Amino acid sequence: MGTIWHYQFFNETCLYPYEYITYKSVKDTLINSQPCRIIEGTFYGLSENTIDFGKEIMYGDSVNVYIYTNNKFYKIYDFSAQPGDTITVIDTFFAG
């Protein structure tokens, strides 16, 4: 298994306001000769509920991170962006 990220947040509208999301890098894969990682995401609420976000396929280079959806790679992070630059981000949750 690879890297695991935990994101905790406060949701004041919930009965149990401290919730978190975990992303796990679980497997290598290859798409159109591009080495990628499969990432699994899960939401954990303190009210004992969990939501599986499913799998995302991603890869990164020295300045960008891309996500694969609808048979295409989309840039989701650009660490070289300057003030005023624009990045169009696809909503992968509803896109596929």
Q: What is the pLDDT of residue 96?
A: 47
Q: What is the pLDDT of residue 11?
A: 66
Task: Output the tens digit of pLDDT for each of the chain's 96 residues.
Answer: 578 988 877 666 665 566 788 899 999 999 999 999 999 998 887 666 788 888 999 999 999 999 998 899 998 889 999 999 888 777 665 554
**DSSP secondary structure letter of residue 93:** H
User: What is the model's pTM?
Assistant: 0.72
Q: What is the pLDDT of residue 9?
A: 72
Q: What is the pLDDT of residue 87?
A: 81
Give the residue from 17, 95, 89, 7 showing the smallest Cα distance to 54: 95
